Chain A
């Protein structure tokens, strides 16, 4: 999996094997850990159907193989079926990453007929009330329906659980739910703290104890279930002492296209405000991928500072995550502060030390992904 910290190592011969297309930033859910930019409403100028098709064509010519349709909520685009059909025709393996809202049996059938290969469905909670608190709308029953429909259509399903302090104690219930639905893959994706998740980090970050308990439950279930279900457990990198091999390296195999056509080496990179990311409306994708300054910036290792520059693990983790270095140290070229060798590791230790563990949780303590509350939250935070 191309998951943060998965240890995946893949030589794509310099080609963008993995395309992620964010069709829209719009989403009916208000998850307070959304990976979209906190100022997402500024980028409303979405690519048209024809522009997306052109991006898909150029991406495939550049060597793209895996394709993820995501957002926001990608099913809000009425042309999703048309784009999936185009992707299939071009020879991609197409994944749909969705909350399930906006899908129904008929649309699923149409997407499968168009060539969709798998669906990643998010579950924020294993029951209705917590789900409502965490996503701000009543969608739990709809998600359950869609999960069964995905299975009924015979599509492989990844059930994705964004894990935080707010749901980590429910690990066993998530496992029961996934088993009951018959998910092929269950992924416990501990939040990585960028954008909205960063805004809510103090509330969301679990303690090491909570993590270890959760992982132990997963381990036990994994042994019992064997091959019936593949369970991934992605630890939050704060609790590691080496950084994740983020995106298999900057501009190595991953290419994200944001709703407005901005191209990014990963979904979060837009937050590095010191870089100017090119747009497919202004430049050819081949130039963007191969030559643009933004994609060249952290390729290879000549950009590295100490301690990365002389570290014998630099080819293993590429110095970690540029976004995290930027957010926490102010310089994207610094060693990811997660690394125990980083002079900035104390920042991470300080954050871990403040994790709230079993202190009371409450939806009112979270800044939800909607504009009104975000502004109110920012005011309150001052």
Chain B
């Protein structure tokens, strides 16, 4: 497989266009819907996806999340989660 370069703070990411991300009231959770699949996200995962997919860069998303959750050491955790989300095909780097 073509090895992917690790995500950087100035990368911008977006939701995979085959995926829909939304709040599902009966489940009281955000869900990702895609062809024949569904993933229920916990609050943290949903917050990261929401922030990252809507931000000009991952760095901006990290800043928003750090400010919201008042934590300094969030950056590596956010990057690790986004790497995982990219590997699962939920998000991709904007070209």
Contacts and interface: CB of A to CB of B under 8 A. Distances in A.
B93 to A, nearest CB: 11
B35 to A, nearest CB: 4
B36 A15 contact: no
A2 B36 contact: yes
A184 interface: yes
Interface in B1-60: 1-2, 17-18, 20, 24, 26-27, 31, 33-40
Interface string A147-168: 0000000001010000000000
Contacts of B40: 10-11
B38 to A, nearest CB: 5
Nearest to B19: A156
Nearest to B86: A227
A221 to B, nearest CB: 11
Contacts, number: 60
A226 B2 contact: yes
Contacts of A18: 38
Nearest to B39: A10
A261 to B, nearest CB: 24
Contact of B36 (A1, A13, A65): A1
Contacts of B31: 65
Chain A CB within 10 Å, residue with most, of B2, B17, B36: B36
Interface string A1-33: 111000000111101011000000000000000
Contacts of A10: 38-40
Interface residues of A, number: 29
B35 A65 contact: no
Interface in A149-201: 156, 158, 184-185
B1 A13 contact: no
A93 B2 contact: no
A142 interface: no
A18 B31 CA distance: 13
A75 interface: no
A158 B38 contact: no
Contacts of A17: 27, 38
B36 A68 contact: yes
Contacts of A158: 35-36
A93 B38 CA distance: 10
Contacts of A224: 1
B18 A93 contact: no
Nearest to B28: A13
A7 to B, nearest CB: 13
A230 interface: yes
Interface string A214-232: 0000000011101100100
A230 B37 CA distance: 13
Given A118-B18, A156-B18, A230-B89, A15 B35 contact: no
A120 B35 CA distance: 8
A118 B35 contact: yes
B56 to A, nearest CB: 23
A37 interface: no
B38 A66 contact: yes
Contact of A15 (B2, B18, B20, B27): B27
Contacts of B24: 65
Contacts of B92: 227
B33 A65 contact: yes
A229 to B, nearest CB: 11
Given A66-B33, A93-B33, A117 B20 contact: yes
B2 A95 contact: no
Given A10-B40, A11-B40, A65-B38, A227 B33 contact: no
15 contacts: A3-B36, A18-B38, A65-B27, A65-B38, A93-B20, A95-B35, A95-B36, A156-B17, A156-B34, A158-B36, A184-B18, A184-B35, A224-B1, A227-B89, A230-B89
Given A118-B18, A156-B18, A224-B1, 7 more contacts: A10-B39, A65-B27, A66-B36, A68-B36, A95-B35, A118-B35, A185-B35
Interface of A: 1-3, 10-13, 15, 17-18, 63, 65-66, 68, 93, 95, 117-118, 120, 156, 158, 184-185, 222-224, 226-227, 230
Interface of B: 1-2, 17-18, 20, 24, 26-27, 31, 33-40, 89, 92
